[in-house]
Amino acid sequence: MDTVFIRALGVESIIGVHAWERRLKQRLTIDLDLAWNTAAAAADDDLSEALDYAAVAARVQSLAAAESCHLLETLAERMADTLREEFGVAWLRLRVSKPGAVAGAAAVGVVIERGQPG
C-alpha cells in the first residue's frame, strides 16, 4: 500500500474539557498517513492525479480552527470523516498530539485508524 504522509503539522483549535481551555485556541500537532495509489500520478508526473498533501494540510488546519471539541477523540474523528469524504481516502491513520497537556509528558493524544487499507 502506498501512502502520502504529513508529519508534525501545527494546528490551532479550541480543545479541552476545562473552562480555561474553552477560552483560547491551543496548538496541537497532527501526523497523518493516508492510503493513496501513487502510481498514476508518478506515471503522468501530474499533481491532479496525486493526493495533494498541501491541500490536505490546509483542510486539516481550517477544520481545526473551526471546531471547538472537548475531546481529542472527537476532533480526530471529525478530521478522519472529512478527509475520507472530501479527498476520497480509503484508509488513514491520524495522530493528534497535545503538547504540554500533562506535566512530565512531552505530549499526549490519540491515534485512530479508519477505513480499509487498499
Ligand X SMILES: Nc1nc2c(c(=O)[nH]1)N=C([C@H](O)[C@@H](O)CO)CN2
Enzyme catalytic residues? 98
Residue the block writes with cell 490551532: 12
Cβ(86)–Cβ(56) below 8 Å: no
CB of 41 to ligand X, least distance (A): 36
**What is the DSSP-derived secondary structure letter of residue 37?**
-
- Tell me which stretch binds ligand X (CB under 6 A): 5-13, 32-40, 42-50, 71-79: 71-79
* Residue among 39 and 71 whose Cβ is closer to ligand X: 71
Residues 25 and 34: their CA atoms lie apart, in Å, by 26
Interaction residues for ligand X, span 2-41 (CB under 6 A): 16-18, 21
Q: What residue type is 54 in one-letter code?
A: A
Return residues touching ligand X (CB under 6 A): 16-18, 21, 71-73, 98, 101
